[in-house]
């Protein structure tokens, strides 16, 4: 048996399963799927495919596939789709047995940037075929969902509250940039435009935060991020020092900063140099607790989705997931 077959096919003979979100990239994934599938067959090999139909489908499809013995599952969609499929794998209890692959097809592509995936379908297919397996950390957040119940969710990339959650809500409803020709350009431009719209007239939020075993402190925040990976928001390097397998989450707090300074320094978010600003503080931690200081409702975002609100507890889960990444040269 070849190395490719032995690494990609389960011991029970099941080929890799690709779970596709056809609505990702504003429906472009559905339109391009025939070409994507052809590149995968040519440059990756045989596979099965399942399509999501709505929110939560990726999680359920991945969970059932793991329980049926599938040992290589590939997420085809945006960061939200990747999050759902990773959650399905982790909830099945096979996170250290089932390998996750990423075929990015969304507007943001932030997790792709952290793991160094190429950008063309053929090169991505080859990276999935010839790549290496790494055990990575994941984050787990416990929060209050939209029904007022306690819920938990894993995240691979970044979770935050404050400005980013408001921006993501605006981005998801935006159609003004649909005319742009490239998905990646549209994603970045949409986030930038929504950021500009949200920062005008914004106020900081007061929260109570406890980092590991340190005393709880009150903080003023414009945006509070807990990062497992480096990028969010369509290419913003919010946590430039984050590593996927160091056993820590990177906490980045953008404090009480005025609108003009945010606009003038927005380019630093893409370069990862915003941490040099006096209003930006960062620390590594294994557990973070956060709640509103005045009882107001503060929504959170998790890998670009909006599942609920504070209070929340964020924890790192070291080495919880096997991930196929490009082979290091």
For the chain of 329 residues, list the mean pLDDT of each consecutive stretch of 10: 45 88 88 94 96 96 96 95 97 89 87 93 96 97 97 97 75 47 48 54 85 96 95 88 97 81 72 86 97 95 94 98 90
User: Which sequence spans correspond to the domains of the chain?
Assistant: 3-130, 139-318
Q: What is the pTM of this model?
A: 0.87
Instruction: Tell me which H or E stretch contains 153.
Output: strand 150-155
Fold of 139-318: Tumour Suppressor Smad4 (2.60.200)
What would be the CATH architecture of the domain defined by 3-130?
3-Layer(aba) Sandwich (3.40)
Q: Are 37 and 49 in contact (CB under 8 A)?
A: yes
Distance CA 200, CA 260 (A): 9
pLDDT at 6: 40
Q: What is the pLDDT of residue 196?
A: 53
Which residues lie below 8 Å from residue 316, measured CB to CB, with a gap of 6+? 137, 138, 139, 140, 228, 247, 248, 249, 286, 287
Enclosing H/E stretch for 266: none
């Amino acid at each position: 048996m070849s190395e490719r077959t032995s690494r990609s096919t389960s011991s029970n003979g099941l080929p890799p399963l690709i779970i596709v979100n056809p609505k990702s990239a504003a429906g472009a994934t559905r339109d391009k799927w025939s070409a994507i599938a052809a590149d995968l067959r040519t440059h990756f090999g045989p596979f099965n495919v399942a399509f999501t139909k709505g929110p939560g489908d990726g999680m359920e499809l991945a969970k059932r596939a793991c329980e049926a013995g599938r040992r290589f599952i590939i997420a085809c969609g945006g960061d939200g789709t990747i999050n759902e499929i990773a959650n399905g794998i982790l909830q099945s209890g096979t996170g250290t047995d089932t390998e996750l692959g990423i075929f990015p097809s969304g507007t943001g592509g932030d997790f792709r940037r952290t793991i160094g995936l190429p950008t063309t379908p053929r090169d991505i297919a080859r990276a999935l075929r010839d790549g290496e397996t790494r055990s990575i950390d994941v984050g787990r957040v416990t929060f209050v969902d939209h029904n007022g119940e306690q819920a938990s969710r894993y995240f691979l990339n970044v979770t935050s509250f404050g400005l980013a959650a408001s921006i993501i809500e605006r981005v998801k409803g935006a159609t003004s940039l649909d005319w742009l020709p490239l998905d990646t350009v549209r994603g970045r431009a949409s986030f930038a435009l929504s950021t500009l719209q949200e920062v005008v007239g914004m106020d900081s939020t007061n929260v109570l935060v406890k980092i590991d075993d340190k005393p709880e402190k009150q903080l003023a925040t414009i945006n509070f991020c807990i990062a497992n990976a480096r990028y969010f928001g369509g290419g913003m390097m919010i946590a430039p020092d984050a590593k996927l397998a160091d056993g820590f989450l990177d906490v980045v707090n953008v404090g009480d900063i005025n609108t003009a300074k945010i606009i003038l320094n927005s380019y630093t978010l893409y370069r990862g140099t915003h941490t040099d600003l006096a209003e930006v503080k960062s620390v590594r931690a294994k557990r973070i607790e956060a709640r509103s200081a005045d009882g107001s409702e503060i929504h959170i975002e998790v890998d670009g989705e909006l599942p609920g609100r504070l209070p929340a507890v964020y924890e790192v889960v070291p080495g919880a997931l096997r991930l196929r990444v490009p082979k290091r040269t």
